[in-house]
Structure 1
């Protein structure tokens, strides 16, 4: 999206974290296809910038999870939001699109909507899982919600929020039958030996909590099954930090650290040990068995636990309505428990086959022309 001529549409966007950058980049492809001269700007990451997005601030600004962790960065985040609000109120984009990051975006959208700027939010906050009180704020702040799960529009309609199910973009980009052997070749892994993928998250705080546990779990697995291979796709900027952790743990035999390439790691693996979050849905779409783990600041966990509405945290379990994959949270997130749960998948091929059938059904449910459906909604919002 290069410089737009006078009168061309302008879209302001805010996307936080790696997952938001990925989702917003797919949406930008749809905007480009429908409005080639449009301009897009705001907060985003490298994938958005590759689509011509003008990033005023980096998406890493919003890569914070947990109440205590957010408090540590609160003043800086609020200062950026205030600057962004003033800039957008002066520039008046045709539409503001908030991509996930609800704690940042909903307050901003309330103020922009009150000033007459149409607001669209992409990815409904998980009000069906926790913090149901957000429905009131969503109604005040969002003109239209783009939903990635099929049950969400009906829930939002009851709260007076206009919403459209557009499918999950990842269901279009991830193949129905991933090529495990090609991915192993890409990563330099032995095609014949089992592979465990270690994905400790994308936020610095969760990586700090989970990476040492994941490495210790890998050591436990290696001692019990010496032929295992491990692959850990790291955010490039954090690769030196993770290398230091590996050294501090005394090394992990059979471990390959790679910069990025999380999808290749998921395609290549037989099982993954993974942080709770969007990546668990990616693993499900790759049809891979998984062990979900999470550990955070104690106070943040106590607050979140009180607001939880469902017994599951992992997206595959939430979407299937049962514990189809194990979850190990907080005090249960020990290296020994994680290791045994991963090894259990490797020793149960019939259980893996049944899980893959469930994940294929889930993939078909989420597969829609997301970019086109989203821009159809934006066109209607613009017409209003």
Structure 2
């Protein structure tokens, strides 16, 4: 007598911000593959998750707020959406609830849902940055979250040390796009060719362009005086094209601005070195094998506040993962344009500093490896395990 097929797995997802939408869409696709399509999605997400089959209960932007002013102005809306999200989960009674990024919103949803559906498995995809500040958040979320899926390899140990929920490292989403940013044999030869290509990455937020634009122009002018035969490429977002154009108009050097994603990836595969604002892009550069320096500057009041509350020894993700200052960082009071230009020149021309970074990037790849599976596939396996429907492991 044949066994009746298992009913479709019901998954409720809540994502906030563009990064959460990207992660959510990848997770949905892999869950569909691992369950053979026997799955149903409900929840809140952005355009990528909607394209993957989610009918969002309300616009994802309604729960995304950045900056104190935006939070205060949007508080009534956010509180309303918080109640609606928790109520929707309770009505749906899914097999598992997956909360992606947006910790301030999703942790409150988890708390409300846990009090009403205490047996519902709850997964948090992307660990809160308790290793940066507010470490008490780890222990605070433990009663409401059954599993955290971490994107950085040191986070499971940190969460355990801080008495947080069980945490599984599934890999950073950048690991799923290595073929797009790493060179093939021909492109690797181009990295050593003439003229050398330097990636210029001053950030994508308007405030970053305003604060860092003059600094980047200064450093690049000094660099070109030392390495005159240099190709400069500045990837940016389409919506920032006009602002970036206005910014570089005041520079004495003129980078080529690219807004197409494929052009950006092609530049990564050909780049000899990079000059970047601190952020996720430093990890992207390291995984692509591109030696770089990083910088950042905020308002002096923010810097003083950060000095007293942050618990990190570096602002550069690859340095944090490696536990060493592999990538030179010039932050706030330690910004030094002549020194920055000199280091970039040496990274371009070659020598011990360049070789040391390349060796560090090899170690970084080993630390972040995920046994050949993509981060989305590993995340999907973890969700199914928490839901009580583990998928067979790959042969």
Pick the TM interval, shorter chain: 0.7 to 0.9
Q: Which residue of 2 aligns with 1:107?
A: 108
Deviation by residue 1:109-147 (Cα, 9 ceiling, x = unmatched): 333333325432222223234332222333244221001
Deviation (angstroms), 1:10: 3.7
The SS at the match of 1:193 is coil
Q: Which residue of 2 aligns with 1:122?
A: 125
Unaligned 5+ runs, structure 1: 1-5, 65-69
Task: Name segments (4+ residues, structure 1) moved above 6 Å.
Answer: none
Any conservation in 2 of the 1:85–1:112 contact (CA below 8 Å)?
no
The SS at the match of 1:362 is helix
Any conservation in 2 of the 1:280–1:292 contact (CA below 8 Å)?
yes
Q: Which residue of 2 aligns with 1:3?
A: none
Quick one: structure 1 residues 208 and 115, their matched pair in 2 at CA, closer, same or farther if it must change by over 3 Å?
A: farther
Any conservation in 1 of the 2:220–2:341 contact (CA below 8 Å)?
yes
Quick one: structure 1 residues 224 and 354, their matched pair in 2 at CA, closer, same or farther if it must change by over 3 Å?
A: closer
Q: CA RMSD in A?
A: 3.1
CA distance, structure 2, for counterparts of residue 380 and residue 299 of structure 1: 45
Report how many aligned residue pairs link the two structures.
367
Q: Which residue of 2 aligns with 1:14?
A: 15
Any conservation in 1 of the 2:65–2:74 contact (CA below 8 Å)?
no
What does residue range 97-246 of structure 1 map to in structure 2 within 5 Å? 97-116=98-117, 118-158=121-161, 159-175=163-179, 177-179=182-184, 182=187, 192-246=194-248
Q: Which residue of 1 aligns with 2:31?
A: 31
The two structures have a TM-score, normalised by structure 1, of 0.83
What does residue range 1-384 of structure 1 map to in structure 2 within 5 Å? 9-17=10-18, 19-35=19-35, 36=37, 37-44=39-46, 46-54=47-55, 56-58=58-60, 62=64, 64=66, 70-92=67-89, 94=94, 95-116=96-117, 118-158=121-161, 159-175=163-179, 177-179=182-184, 182=187, 192-247=194-249, 249-250=250-251, 252-253=253-254, 255-261=255-261, 262-333=264-335, 335-368=337-370, 369=373, 370-383=375-388
Deviation by residue 1:23-47 (Cα, 9 ceiling, x = unmatched): 3333233223235343254243x54
Deviation by residue 1:194-251 (Cα, 9 ceiling, x = unmatched): 111112223333333223422332232223322111111111111111111122x155
The SS at the match of 1:252 is coil
Any conservation in 1 of the 2:130–2:137 contact (CA below 8 Å)?
yes
Deviation (angstroms), 1:7: 6.8
Quick one: structure 1 residues 270 and 319, their matched pair in 2 at CA, closer, same or farther if it must change by over 3 Å?
A: same
Unaligned 5+ runs, structure 2: 1-6, 390-395
Deviation (angstroms), 1:337: 4.4
Any conservation in 1 of the 2:22–2:48 contact (CA below 8 Å)?
yes
The two structures have a TM-score, normalised by structure 2, of 0.81
Quick one: structure 1 residues 74 and 199, their matched pair in 2 at CA, closer, same or farther if it must change by over 3 Å?
A: same
Q: Which residue of 1 aligns with 2:392?
A: none
